[in-house]
Structure 1
Amino acid sequence: MPDGDVVVAGKTRSHGGGRAAGWSARLDPGGETRWTRTIGGARATDGFKRGLPRADGGTRLIGQTRSEGAGESDGWLLDLNAEGNTERERVFGGPENDRFVDAAMLADGGTLAVGFTASYGAGDRDVWAVRTDAEGRAVWQRTFGGSRDDGAYGVAVHDGRAVVVGYTRTDGEAGYDVWAARLDLADGEAVWTRTLDRSGMDAATSVTFAGDGDVVIAASTAGGGFGRDDIWLIRLSADGDNVWTRTLGGPSADTPWSLAPLADGGVVVAASTQSYGAGSADAWLLNVDDNGAVRWQRTYGGELWDWPGQVAVRPDGGLLMAGYTTSLGAGYEDVWVLRLDAQGRL
C-alpha cells in the first residue's frame, strides 16, 4: 500500500460458518494485524484472488462469488476503504460459471480483470476480460477462444499496454497450450495473440512486463523438462516475438504461481516445489536475470504442504510473499505472509 502497509486477500472456511467466504486483512509494515474482514459465504464458494492498492489508501478485491449474482458463479469486485469497510460491490457474469482470476489497476483508477466464462463466448469456457471504471462499472468486456476450453490466469498492465495469459485447447487436440494476447485498452481488441506448445499440457499462470518493455510469462509444462511438471519461463518482445525460453525444475512437480518485475529487467518467480525443500511441498522463490539465468533461489516451509500465491517487490527492493501453509499456524490451512530482504532472506 502507499503507506507501507500490506493487504492480503483470499478465502476462509474458519470464519464463514463452514462455507468458503472472501477474506482480507491489512497488516502494518511490521506484520501486525490492523484489521481483518470476512465477506460473503452465504453459499460455497466465495473467495478473492487478488487485492489491488488504490491511490486513496483503499483496496480493490477481485475473485468469484456464488452468494451474489446471476449464475453458478460470477466475477466479483469489492472496494474497501482504508479502514476495511465495504464501499461498493459489483458482480459480473451470466447464468453459468464465470470467474475472475487476476486483475491489474489502470491509470484512471479502473481495473482490467481476467478469468474465464462459460456464459459468453464460443466454447465450453472462454478467456474473459472485463475493463471497469474507477467505480467498478463495466466499460467493456471481451471473450477469446474456440469451441473447447480456454481461460486466463494472469494479466499485466504497463505504460498503457495490457497482456493477458492463460491456456487454450485447440479443436482436435487432446492437450492444452500456452495462450497470450496483447489487448488494446481502449476497446479490448487483440493487438496480437500467441499460442506456445511444449508438451501438450501447458498453461500460463502469470505474466509481467520486464524493465525494457518485454513480456515475461511463467507457465507450467508437463513434459520435456526435468520432472513431472516444470516451470517454463517465456520472454517475448513488445511485439510478441520470442526472445528466449527457459525450463526450471527438479524430478517432481514444480509449478509457478506468480511473477514480480525487478528494476534491472529480471523477475522473481514464486512457485510451489515438490522437488526441493523440507516438506511435501514448499514455496520456492527464484531470482532470474534478464537472460533467464537463475541468480539465487530459496525454499520456504515445513514438513507438510506450503504453497505460495503472490510475490511482490517492495520499494526498498525487499520482497513480500503470501500463500498458505499447513506446516505452521492454527488450522489445516492458514494464510501465510513472509517479508523478505532483496536476497530472499526472512
Structure 2
Amino acid sequence: MKRDLMKMIFFSLVASLFFIAKPAKADHWIKAYGLDSYDEFNSIIKIDNGYITAGRAGNNAWIMKLNEEGSIDWQKSYSGTPNPGFGFNSIIKTDDGYVAAGMIHFAVDEPDGWIIKIDEYGDIVWQKIYTDGHSIKSIIKTVDGYVAAGSTSGNDDGWIIKINENGTIAWQKRYGGGNYDGIYSIIKTNNGYVAAGYTRSFGANSADAWIIKLNENGTIAWQKRYGGDEDDWITSITKTDDGYVAAGYTESFGAGEDYDAWIIKLDENGNIVWQYRYGGDKKDRINSIIKTDDGYLAAGKINSTMIEGGDAWIMKLNEEGDIIWQKRYGGDNEDEINSIIKTDNGYGAAGRTGPAMSEEGRPDGFVLNLDQDGNVNDCEIIQTSHAEKYPTTAQTNNIVQDSVDLDVNHVSDSDATISDPDINIYTICKSVSTVAVPLFGPFGYLVLITLLGFFGYRKSR
C-alpha cells in the first residue's frame, strides 16, 4: 500500500512537469547579428519590451528591433539607387515611432546629412537629405521637433540643425574656423544645448577637444577647447547635477605615441573639475559615456590587451572618476562598443564584433545585455581588463568665434527604399533565470519546480 502511494505521488509530480515546464527567460546575453558584409551598430535605445539598434549593414542603413531575449522582432535595411552608401549614427524614440540620423553618400558626390522618421514597425514616414551637412553624429528630441549635430559638407565645420516634426529646417548653423572641426555629441540643457567634438581651427596645428554651450536658437553662450600639444577628441558628453562629463581620447597625454581614453569633469561654465586618462601601452578610447546613480559608465575599445585588434570595453566609475570595475569583451578579432545605455537590471550596449560567423572575416553587429556588474554568467569572452588611471594636465582656452547661419531651404526629400535581408544570429553567451514554482502535494509537502534553461526540480518540506 505504501509503495503504491509513493508511485502515485511520483507520477503526479512527473505529470505536473509537463504542464508547467517551459524554457526559462534569458536574463542576460551577448549576441552577434549580420550578413556577409561589414555590419555595425552605432546606437542603441531601450524600449518597453526590448531594444532598438541602428547602424549599417554593408552599404545600407540598418535598424533592428529586438525583444528582451535578443530575438529579432523586425529589422529593416534602407538603401537607394544607384547603390549609395547609407548609415545611421543615432536613433531616438518618439511618441509614434523612431527618428534615425546619419549620412547618405552617392558615389559622385560628397556625403549629405540624412534624417528618417519611421513608424513602430520600421516603415518610412518621411525622409530628408540636408545638403549643407556631411554626416549627422547625434540627434535629440525637443518640444517641437529635433536638433541634430555633426559636420558640414567637406567635413570643414561643426554643424547643428533644428528641424520641426516633419523634418523642415527651423534653423541651421555652422561653427568653427578655417580648419577642420566636427561635433560628435549634443545634449539638451535647461536653457539650450551643449555640443562636443573636436576643433583644429583654434589649436596649435593639432585637434583639441571642443565644447560649445548654446541657447535655444543655436547662438553661442560660450565655447572652449581643451587639450595639449597633440590630438585630443571628445566623442560623448552627458549632463550631471552640477555640470557635465565628457569622454573621448587623448594623444597629448597618452602612452607614448598612442592615445588613451580620456574623461573630463566640467562645471556649468565649462571649467575643468577633474581630468584623467585611462589605458595601458596601446590605443584605448571611449565612444560613449552615461550618468548612473552613483557615478558613470564609459564604453569603447581597449587595445592594451593580449588580443590583436582590441576588445570592446566597459568601465564603471565613481563620481570622482575612480575605477570601480572594468571589463573587456571579445575574442580573437576586433570588438568595439559604440553606444551604451542603462536598463532596469543592468546595461545595454551595441557596436561591432570581429566575425562571429562570416567566412569572409567581416565584422558583425554586436549587442550586449549585461547585469549591473557588466556580466553574463559563465561567459568566456568577458574578462577583467587592467587599464590604469592617470591624471592629465589639459589646458582650457576660451574661443571667440561666432556661428554662421546656413540656408534653411537646403533640404530635399530622399528616396530610400526598404528591404528585409536574411540576418544571421549568433548567440555568444546567455544566462537564464531560475524560477521556483510551488506545487502543494499530498501530506503537506511543498514541491518546488526549478526552471533553469528548460526544467529541473527539487523537493523541500
> Is this a same-fold pair by TM over 0.5?
yes
1:9 corresponds to 2:54: yes
Alignment of 1:194-213 (within 5 A): 194-210=224-240, 212-213=241-242
User: Which has the greater radius of gyration?
Assistant: 2
Partner residue of 1:181?
212
Letter of the 1:251 partner, please give it: D
Partner residue of 2:178?
147
Alignment of 1:2-151 (within 5 A): 2-13=47-58, 20-41=59-80, 42-54=82-94, 56-67=95-106, 72-94=110-132, 98-111=134-147, 113-118=148-153, 125-151=156-182
Structure 1: 5+ residue stretches without partners? 14-19
Shift of 1:278: 4.2
How many correspondences in the alignment?
327
Q: Distance in 2 between matches of 1:137 and 1:5?
A: 31
Given that 1:302 and 1:327 are in contact with CA atoms closer than 8 Å, whether structure 2 keeps it comes out as no
- Shift in alpha-carbon separation, 1:39–1:313, aligned structure 2, 3 A: same
Given that 2:253 and 2:259 are in contact with CA atoms closer than 8 Å, whether structure 1 keeps it comes out as no
Aligned to 2:210, the other structure's residue is in SS state strand
Q: Distance in 1 between matches of 2:333 and 2:156?
A: 34
Q: Distance in 2 between matches of 1:74 and 1:149?
A: 17
- 1:164-186 deviations in whole A, cap 9, x for unaligned? 0111113683211111011112x
Partner residue of 1:221?
250
- Shift in alpha-carbon separation, 1:277–1:101, aligned structure 2, 3 A: farther
Given that 1:279 and 1:302 are in contact with CA atoms closer than 8 Å, whether structure 2 keeps it comes out as no
- Shift in alpha-carbon separation, 1:71–1:183, aligned structure 2, 3 A: farther
Q: Distance in 1 between matches of 2:306 and 2:160?
A: 36
- Shift in alpha-carbon separation, 1:130–1:259, aligned structure 2, 3 A: same
Partner residue of 1:311?
340
Normalization by structure 1: what TM-score?
0.89
- Shift in alpha-carbon separation, 1:310–1:231, aligned structure 2, 3 A: same
Partner residue of 1:291?
320
- Shift in alpha-carbon separation, 1:217–1:172, aligned structure 2, 3 A: closer
Partner residue of 2:197?
166
Given that 1:58 and 1:79 are in contact with CA atoms closer than 8 Å, whether structure 2 keeps it comes out as yes
- 1:216-254 deviations in whole A, cap 9, x for unaligned? 111211132335110110111112121111111110000
- 1:2-41 deviations in whole A, cap 9, x for unaligned? 423211111112xxxxxx1111110011111011111025
- 1:316-337 deviations in whole A, cap 9, x for unaligned? 1510110011142336111010
Partner residue of 1:255?
285
Given that 2:113 and 2:129 are in contact with CA atoms closer than 8 Å, whether structure 1 keeps it comes out as yes
- 1:177-198 deviations in whole A, cap 9, x for unaligned? 111011112x101111011113
Aligned to 1:165, the other structure's residue is in SS state strand
Give the % identical residues.
Answer: 28
Q: Distance in 2 between matches of 1:175 and 1:43?
A: 36
Shift of 1:280: 2.4
Q: Distance in 1 between matches of 2:214 and 2:237?
A: 14
Given that 1:142 and 1:188 are in contact with CA atoms closer than 8 Å, whether structure 2 keeps it comes out as yes
Q: Distance in 1 between matches of 2:119 and 2:55?
A: 17
Letter of the 1:238 partner, please give it: E
Q: Distance in 2 between matches of 1:27 and 1:199?
A: 44
RMSD (Å), alpha carbons: 2.0
Given that 1:27 and 1:33 are in contact with CA atoms closer than 8 Å, whether structure 2 keeps it comes out as yes
- Shift in alpha-carbon separation, 1:142–1:71, aligned structure 2, 3 A: farther
**Is the helix fraction higher in 1 or 2?**
2
Aligned to 1:223, the other structure's residue is in SS state coil
- 1:281-327 deviations in whole A, cap 9, x for unaligned? 1011001111111111100010111111111111x151011001114
- Shift in alpha-carbon separation, 1:338–1:2, aligned structure 2, 3 A: closer
Greater shift, 213-222 or 246-255, is seen at: 213-222
Partner residue of 1:17?
none
Partner residue of 1:320?
348
Structure 2: 5+ residue stretches without partners? 1-45, 377-461
Letter of the 2:182 partner, please give it: G
